[in-house]
Structure 1
Amino acid sequence: MCDDSHPYLSGNFAPVQRSLPLTPCSWEGEIPADLAGGQYVRNGGNPLSNGDLQREAHWFDGDGMLSGVLFRRGGGNTGTTEVRPEFANQFLVTDVAAFARGSRFVRRPLLPSIAMLLNPCTTALAFVLTVLRTMLLVLLSRLPASPWPVRKISVANTAVLYHDGRALATCASGPPLRVALPSLDTIGWFNGRAAENEPERGGDTRAGFGGSGALSFMRSWTTAHPRVDHVTDELIAFHSVSVKPYVQYSVVPPAKSSAPARFNLAVPGVASPKMMHDFGVSHGHTIIMDLPLGLDPLNFARGAPVVSYDAAAKARFGVFPRHRPRDVHWFETNPCCIFHAANCWDDDAAADNKNPAGGSTTAVNLLACRLTSASLIFSLGNLPVPAAAPAPPEYAEEEQCRLYYYRFKKEPYTFTTPKIAQQWALSAIAFEFPTVSPLHQMADARYVYGCSTKWTPYSIALGKPAKIDVLAKIDTRALIARGMAHPPQAVKGCVDARTVPEILAAPIKINDDRDAIQLFDMPAGWFAQEPRFVPRAHHHHDGDEDDHDGDEDDGWLLTYVFDESQLDACGRCPDDDHGGAASELWIIDARSMRTVVARVRLPQRVPYGFHGAWFSERDIAAQRPFDRVREMPEAAAAASPGDADAGGAGVAPWMGLGRWLG
C-alpha cells in the first residue's frame, strides 16, 4: 500500500543516509581531457532527522550534503590525459547536523521548517512552541558535558564556491563553512578572515562577518550566493537579517592584496526585513534586490505568516559602487520575486575584461530569473498559495518565471535620475538555476545556461514536485540586441514568445545562424539538476581570458541526472538493502546542446538538490593548509534517556529532557 509521503521527502527528493569516500565509477563515452584533475561538487538539503515523514517540510529544508565527482588523472602521471572518475558524498558537519546525528532522541529537524513559516494556517501558539523547542534544544546542547554544542544554526545546504584557497559551502542563516577538496570533509566556519581548524595566522583575532557584540551571531548570516571577482579575487557578500540595519554588506580581498577587508557595512534604504536570496555584482557595482517578500518573525503579532508576499508593493533595486554602499540609489518597479541573478555587468566603452574599471560607467545591467508572484516558494513546501488582496490593475501579470533583462541608467559619476531604462523578458520559457561561463561573470557574457520544463511551467499542483526535464542555453546578447531594436512593453513584454515545444520543434541551426535559444531535451522519465559550465582548458591557461566571442560556449555542461523508472509503483526509491537506485553525471557538449559525450554511473543516487561548482586541478592544489577536520558523531542508538554509554559517549543524564522535545 502506498503511503502519503511529502512530495519533497519521497522519490528522488528523499534523503540518502549513506555517505561514501572517493569511490571509482564506471562510465561510457569519452571524458574530456579538459576535466582532468578537477572536481564537480553540488550542494543540497538532505535531512538527517527524518523519522517523521508526515511533518511539515520544504525543499529548502535539510542538512547540507555535498556530492562530488573527481576526475582523477590516471596512472600517477600528472601529464597523462587518462581520466578516472571517482564519486564522494559527505554530510556537512554543521553544529545542527552533529547534534542531530549524536542525539538519540531527535526525530524531527532541530530548526523550524520554512513551510511552517509560510503556512497561513500556522497559529501563533504553534509558532511559539516550535521556536521554544528549537531554543530549548540549543540551550541543552550548550550545557556542560554536551559534546555537540549548537553555536550556529546554518545547515550550509545551498551552494558551494571557491575563494582565495578555500572551498566554501553556504546558506543564508550563517557564515560560510570551509570544506576540503577532494574528500569533501568539513573543516570549519569561515568568518571572512580565517576558518576554524586552520593554523594560526599571526594571532589575528579580529572579528569578521557579523562583527562583535550581542547581535554578531545574526549579522554573520551571509547570502548563500557570494560572488568572487576572478579579476580582483575579491569575495562580495551581503547579510540580510531581521534587525536594523536590515541589510549589511562585506567585501573580502585575497590575502595577497593590500586592500582592507570591509565587513558589515550598512546598506541604507531597506525599511523592513526581507527574504533576500541573491544579488547582482558587476566588476564595478553591486545591486541589492529589496523585493516585496518579507521575512519578519514579528508578523505573527500582526496575524500574518513569518514569510509573506505583498502583491501591491514595489520591487526595489539598490545600485551602488562596489566599495561604497552608502552611495546606493534605489530604482522602483512592479512587484516580483527573484531568487537567482544570472549575470551583472557595466556599460563602459573604455573598459574591458582585463581592465574592468577602465572608464566611466553609463549603465549597469542585470539578468535575473523573475517570478511574477511568490507562488513557487509555497509550491516547494506543498502548500496552497494563500488568497491575497488583488494587485492593482497595473501590476496584473500571468504566472511566470522568466529570464529578465534590466538596465539601470547611470549618468557619469552619480545617479541623477533613478530610472530603469529597460526591463523585459528575453524569453517566454520557464527559466531557473542560471549559470554562465566562469570566465565571463560580471562582464557582458553572451550565453546563460539554466533549467526549464515541458510540464506546467508557472504553477505546480499540490502533491506534485517541480522537476527539470529541459536544459536551456540562451544567447542573451542576441536577444538583448533584438529587444533594443524593437523594445517590448516595459515589465510585461517579452522578446521571444515561443514555448518550449515550439523551440524543440524548430529546425536545427548551426554556426552563426544558431537559434538564440537552444534546448537539451531529457529522455522520457529522466530528470536533471542545475547544469554547471566548464570551459575547455585552453581558455584559462595562466589566468588568460582567451575569450573570443565564438569560443565562449566551447566547453561542457555537467549535471546530475536520475532515471525515475527506478522508482517503485508508489514512487519510492528502493533502499540500499534491496539494490538501491543510482544517479548519473552527464557531460554535455555546451556548444551543440545535443550530445552527451560521457555518462558517469554513480555508486548511489544523488537527490535533487541545489547549486554546484567546478573546482579546477589548480584550485584543489592551491588550498590553504588546515590542522584537522570536523568529525560527524556516530549515529546514536535508541536507548534510555540516561544511558550515557549507548548512542554517543558523554551524554549527560539531563539530556533525557530532549526525548520529550525530539
Structure 2
Amino acid sequence: MQTSQINTFALSRAQHYCVSSLATESNSFGSNNDRFSRASSHLSTRFSLRASPHSPTPAGTLDVKPRTAVSYPDSRELRDHGAAAHGQPPSSLAAPKEEFPRSFLHTVNSITWDNPLKQLAAAALDSLESIILAPLDSPQRLPSTTDPSVQLEGNFFPVPEHAVQHELEVEGCIPPALEGVYIRNGANPMFEPAAGHHLFDGDGMLHAVRFKQGIVSYANRFTHTYRVMEEIKREKAFFPKCVGELHGYGGLVRLLFFYARSMCGLVDASMGMGVANAGVVYFNGHLLAMSEDDLPYAVYVTSAGDLETMGRYDFGGQINFPMIAHPKVDALTGELFALSYDVLKKPFLKYFKFAQDGTKGPEVSISLQEPTMVHDFAITEKYVVVPDQEVVFRLQEMLTRGSPVMHDKQKISRFGILPRDDADESRIIWVPVPDCFCFHLWNAWEEEDEIVVIASCMTPADRIFNESTEGLQSVLSEIRLNRVTGTSVRRPLISDMNLEAGQVNKNYLGRKSRYAYLAIADPWPKVSGIAKIDLQAHKPGDDQQGNAGSSDGVDNIRVTKFWYPPNCYGGEPMFVPRSSDPSSEEDDGFLLTFMHNENTGKSELLILDARSPSLETLARVKLPTRVPYGFHGTFIGSNELAKQKETIGS
C-alpha cells in the first residue's frame, strides 16, 4: 500500500471542480467473498445502506431503522420558492413529500475519536466554522445555479437506495438480443445541503436494470465513496460542495476549515474527496464510476443484479491522480484513453492510455497557460483531440466574491491534435476554433488532412455554472480541423433545438459514423425527447422526419424525433447494438432511456427500436421506485459481465 503526500486541496472539474492534489491509496483486499464488507472495512466503517440483496422489497423501502425525518419542504414547495425567487410562476404539478436519503439510514452513534485532543479539535473547528460562516451565509438570494430549491426541485430530488427487485412488470416484449445490464450514473445527495447546491454536487448513485432471459430486475445503490461514508459517520454533509459552495469568501472559509480538519487528522484527504456521480465505463473486467475530482470507484455487478462498491481504483497502483469522467474505449483495440487536469500546478493537463490488459502507457504533459475545464475529448484511429476552450479556472476570483469557474471572452478556443501513441507533446498541433465551447464531443474521425469532430457547442459557455439572463443553447456542430494548414471550419448542423447528453454506436468511436443519438434538452435542464441524427442524409426542405434546419442557411440534416408524453421527461439515450457482428448495420440496435412522469411520480425504462422510422417503442419496464434525472450510462453485455474481476487489484 502506498500513499503519496497531500499537496493541498483545490478546485477542479467541469462538473465538480473540487480536486485536491491529494494522494491516492492503492486498495488491496483479501479473498473474502463479501466485496462490500471488504470495501467498508477499508473505509474504517461498516454501515448497512442496502436491503437484503436477493429478496425483492417494496418500492423505496430498505431493511433499516428509520430516523427522524429531516425537516425540509416538499418538492412542490421547493419549486415554488425557487420559481418565485427567480421571477417564474409557481408550478402546477403536485409533488409528494420526500426526505433526503439520510432519513433511511440505520441509527448510528456519533463519530468518536481515538483521543481527547481530536475530539476537542473537532468540536472547536465545527463551532468556529459555524460562527465565521453565519454572516457569510446569511439569508441572501442564491443564483439559480446554486439554489437548492431550484437544483433539487421535482425529479431532481434524491431517492434512497432500493434493493434489487426481480420480475418487473413489462409492457411490450423485451428483445431476446438484449442480455446484460444497463447502468446509469447520477447525482443524489445523501444529506440536506447546508448552503448552496449545484446539480453536479450530489453523491453518486447508480441505477441498474438487468436483462436476463427476458426477466428484468432493478436496483439502485450509492457508490460508497470515502466522502459519503465519512459524512454518514458524522450524520451530516461536511465536505465542501465543489460547485454550490466554493465561491466567494464562504468558499474560501470552507476550504480552509477542511484543510485544517485534514491537518488535525480528523479526515484523511488522501483517501479521496470525489462524488463519482458523472460517468461510467466498463474496462478490463471492472465497472468504474467516475467524476473528475477523484480516482474512479470500482463497482461489482452481482449475479442477482445488485451493485457493490469495491473501492477506489488506481489501475493497480499505476495512477495517483484524478481522471476525467469521459474516458474513451477503442472497440477495435480495447485500449482506454483518458485525460487528467490540475487547477493548482503545472502541468495543468496530461494525457495517458491503458492497453487492453490494463497496462498504462506514458503520461504526456500538455502545456496550457492556465487551468482549463476539460470535461470531454475525442479520439480517432491515429490521434487524440484535446480541447483547450474559453471556460477556465481562476481561484483568485473567490477573493472578489466570485466563482472560480469563469468564461474568458478574450481567449480563443483551440483543439490539440496529438498522435495517440506519442510519449510527449512535441508533435501536438493546435488549431484555433474561435467562439467555441463544447461540453461534450460525440465522435471524431480522419478525412485526408482533416480531423472531423461532431460536438455540441454551448452558449453562453459558462451557463451551466454561472447564472445568466441568456437562455442556454447547445448546437450540434461539425468542426473540421486541418492538420496541415492549422485552420478550422465550424458548421452548425442543427440550430433549432438543444442537443446534449448522448452518443454514437460505440463500435464506431474514433471512426466515421453516420448516426448520433442525442437528448433533446428542452426545457433545459430537462429532456423532452430523443433525436436520431443522420449525419450523411442532407434533406433540404424535407419535414417528414422533423426538419432540423433554419432560415440561416444551416443544412437540413435528417432527424428522427421521439417525444416523451406530456409532462414526461427523460435523459441520455443509450445505444445498444443488436449484435456484436461488425458487419451489422450501424443503427441496428436499441435505445434505452429512463422516463419519469411528473404527473404520476412514476418512472419507467423505455426500449426503442433504433432502426425504425419512428423509433418505435418495443417495451416499457415499470420501475419500482422513482428514478431522478441523471447523467451518463453504459451497457454491459452478458458475455462481458461474466468476465468481471472479483478483486480490485486483479
Q: Which runs of 5+ in 2 are unaligned?
A: 1-72, 82-147, 550-555
**Structure 2 counterpart of 1:639:** none
Q: Does 1:527 align with 2:569?
A: yes
Offset, 1:470: 1.5
Offset, 1:502: 5.4
Counterpart-to-counterpart distance in 1, 2:503 and 2:238? 31
Offset, 1:154: 1.1
2:298 touches 2:648 (CA, 8 Å); kept in 1? Answer: no
1:208 touches 1:263 (CA, 8 Å); kept in 2? Answer: no
Q: Which amino acid aligns with 1:370?
A: C
Offset, 1:57: 1.1
Q: Deviations over 1:567-620 (max 9, x none)?
A: xxxxxxxxxxxxxx4311000111224321100011101110000001000110
Q: Does 1:451 align with 2:451?
A: no
Q: Does 1:84 align with 2:215?
A: yes
**Structure 1 counterpart of 2:346:** 244
Q: Deviations over 1:446-491 (max 9, x none)?
A: 1000111454xxxx6xxxxx21112101111234xx8xxxxxxxxx
**Structure 1 counterpart of 2:405:** 307
2:300 touches 2:646 (CA, 8 Å); kept in 1? Answer: no
The structure 2 residue matched to 1:402, chosen from 463, 467, 475, is 475
**Structure 1 counterpart of 2:596:** 562
Offset, 1:305: 2.5
**Structure 2 counterpart of 1:649:** none
The structure 1 residue matched to 2:192, chosen from 33, 41, 50, is 50
Counterpart-to-counterpart distance in 2, 1:100 and 1:22? 28
Q: Does 1:61 align with 2:187?
A: no
1:47 touches 1:109 (CA, 8 Å); kept in 2? Answer: no
Q: Does 1:476 align with 2:535?
A: yes
Offset, 1:245: 0.9
Higher relative contact order (CA 8 A, sep 6+): 1
User: Cα–Cα, structure 1 residues 137 and 476, in superposed 2: closer, same or farther, change >3 Å?
Assistant: farther
**Structure 2 counterpart of 1:369:** 456
**Structure 2 counterpart of 1:214:** none
The structure 1 residue matched to 2:257, chosen from 133, 150, 159, is 133
**Structure 2 counterpart of 1:189:** 312
Counterpart-to-counterpart distance in 2, 1:590 and 1:253? 31
Counterpart-to-counterpart distance in 2, 1:43 and 1:589? 23
Q: Does 1:226 align with 2:313?
A: no
Equivalent runs, 1:163-202 vs 2, <5 Å: 163-181=283-301, 182-192=305-315, 194=316
User: Cα–Cα, structure 1 residues 598 and 227, in superposed 2: closer, same or farther, change >3 Å?
Assistant: same
Counterpart-to-counterpart distance in 2, 1:478 and 1:614? 28
| Percent identity of paired positions between Structure 1 and Structure 2 | 28
Offset, 1:501: 7.5
Equivalent runs, 1:213-612 vs 2, <5 Å: 220-242=321-343, 243-255=345-357, 261-268=360-367, 270-301=368-399, 304-324=402-422, 325-347=425-447, 362-378=449-465, 384-385=467-468, 400-410=473-483, 416-420=484-488, 422-428=489-495, 429-453=497-521, 455=523, 466-479=525-538, 516-537=558-579, 540=580, 544-547=581-584, 551-566=585-600, 581-592=601-612, 593-612=614-633
- TM-score computed with the length of structure 2 as normaliser: 0.71
The structure 1 residue matched to 2:225, chosen from 94, 103, 110, is 94
Q: Which amino acid aligns with 1:178?
A: A
2:341 touches 2:350 (CA, 8 Å); kept in 1? Answer: yes
Q: Deviations over 1:390-418 (max 9, x none)?
A: xxxxxxxx9631111111123xxxxx421
Counterpart-to-counterpart distance in 2, 1:369 and 1:594? 22
Counterpart-to-counterpart distance in 2, 1:110 and 1:498? 51
1:555 touches 1:589 (CA, 8 Å); kept in 2? Answer: yes
Q: Which amino acid aligns with 2:331?
A: H
**Structure 2 counterpart of 1:32:** 175
- TM-score computed with the length of structure 1 as normaliser: 0.70
Q: 3-state SS of the aligned residue for 2:641?
A: helix
Offset, 1:139: 4.8
User: Cα–Cα, structure 1 residues 316 and 250, in superposed 2: closer, same or farther, change >3 Å?
Assistant: same
Q: Does 1:110 align with 2:110?
A: no
2:225 touches 2:275 (CA, 8 Å); kept in 1? Answer: yes
Q: Which amino acid aligns with 2:450?
A: A
Q: Which runs of 5+ in 1 are unaligned?
A: 74-82, 195-206, 211-219, 348-360, 388-397, 411-415, 461-465, 483-494, 505-513, 567-580, 630-662
Q: Which amino acid aligns with 2:411?
A: A
Q: 3-state SS of the aligned residue for 2:396?
A: helix
User: Cα–Cα, structure 1 residues 90 and 365, in superposed 2: closer, same or farther, change >3 Å?
Assistant: same
Counterpart-to-counterpart distance in 2, 1:478 and 1:339? 25
Moved over 4 A (4+): 137-140, 301-304, 495-504
Offset, 1:235: 0.7
Offset, 1:169: 0.9
Counterpart-to-counterpart distance in 1, 2:530 and 2:463? 19
Q: Deviations over 1:301-330 (max 9, x none)?
A: 577521010123211111111022431111
Counterpart-to-counterpart distance in 2, 1:474 and 1:16? 33
Q: Which amino acid aligns with 1:427?
A: I
- Give the RMSD, CA atoms, in angstroms: 2.8
Q: Which amino acid aligns with 1:368?
A: A
Counterpart-to-counterpart distance in 1, 2:510 and 2:405? 31
Offset, 1:59: 1.0
Q: Deviations over 1:364-407 (max 9, x none)?
A: 111111113225313xxxx63289xxxxxxxxxx9631111111
Q: 3-state SS of the aligned residue for 1:97?
A: helix
Counterpart-to-counterpart distance in 2, 1:166 and 1:135? 32
Q: Deviations over 1:605-660 (max 9, x none)?
A: 1110000001000110011231799xxxxxxxxxxxxxxxxxxxxxxxxxxxxxxx
Counterpart-to-counterpart distance in 2, 1:453 and 1:501? 16
Counterpart-to-counterpart distance in 2, 1:309 and 1:386? 15
Q: 3-state SS of the aligned residue for 2:244?
A: helix
Counterpart-to-counterpart distance in 2, 1:66 and 1:621? 20
Q: 3-state SS of the aligned residue for 1:626?
A: coil
1:453 touches 1:500 (CA, 8 Å); kept in 2? Answer: no
Offset, 1:23: 3.7
**Structure 2 counterpart of 1:393:** none
Counterpart-to-counterpart distance in 2, 1:534 and 1:363? 29
Offset, 1:335: 2.4
Counterpart-to-counterpart distance in 2, 1:453 and 1:497? 23
The structure 2 residue matched to 1:154, chosen from 274, 277, 294, is 274
User: Cα–Cα, structure 1 residues 29 and 334, in superposed 2: closer, same or farther, change >3 Å?
Assistant: same
**Structure 2 counterpart of 1:574:** none
Q: 3-state SS of the aligned residue for 1:476?
A: strand
Offset, 1:300: 3.0
Counterpart-to-counterpart distance in 2, 1:601 and 1:99? 34
Counterpart-to-counterpart distance in 2, 1:318 and 1:502? 34
Counterpart-to-counterpart distance in 1, 2:583 and 2:545? 33
Counterpart-to-counterpart distance in 2, 1:329 and 1:498? 40
**Structure 2 counterpart of 1:392:** none
Q: Which amino acid aligns with 2:363?
A: N
Counterpart-to-counterpart distance in 1, 2:347 and 2:522? 42
User: Cα–Cα, structure 1 residues 281 and 22, in superposed 2: closer, same or farther, change >3 Å?
Assistant: farther
Counterpart-to-counterpart distance in 2, 1:500 and 1:401? 21
Aligned pair count reads 493
